[in-house]
């Protein structure tokens, strides 16, 4: 460490000179050992904001509706296959002009 800057003129008191020099050395030591004051870490993430329960609930409801519709469609297809209905191919509608 560098000492306090020396003045060219004699000081009135050696005690004052040593006091100022010690204060300056203390100041320089504090400046050298100073830690940064800005916190650069990522902010905390809260569990309830990360999990999004409402979105999960809506997704489950949507999937349950899709599964219900698929089950109903499968039952309809199965009943058609069981009865072996045949299309007659007749078209009784008349063409209008």
Mean pLDDT by 10 residues, the chain (97 residues): 56 82 95 90 85 93 97 92 70 71
What's residue 37's pLDDT? Answer: 87
Note the pTM of the prediction, 2 decimals: 0.42
The three state secondary structure string of the chain is: CCCCCCCCCCCCCHHHHHHHHHHHHHHHHHHHCCCCCCCCCCCCCCHHHHHCHHHHHHHHHHHHHHHHHHHHHHHHHHHHHHHCCCCCCCCCCCCCC
For the chain, what's the residue count? 97
What's residue 11's pLDDT? Answer: 62
What's residue 2's pLDDT? Answer: 60
What's residue 5's pLDDT? Answer: 59
């Amino acid at each position: 460490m560098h000492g306090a800057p020396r003045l060219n003129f004699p000081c009135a008191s050696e005690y004052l000179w040593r006091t100022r020099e010690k204060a300056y050395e203390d100041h320089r030591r504090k400046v050298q050992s100073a830690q940064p004051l800005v916190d650069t870490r990522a902010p905390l993430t809260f569990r309830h904001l990360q999990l999004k329960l409402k979105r999960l609930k809506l997704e489950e409801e949507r999937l349950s509706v899709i599964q219900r519709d698929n089950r109903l469609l499968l039952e309809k297809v199965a009943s058609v296959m069981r009865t072996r209905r045949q299309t007659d191919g007749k078209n009784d509608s008349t063409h209008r002009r």
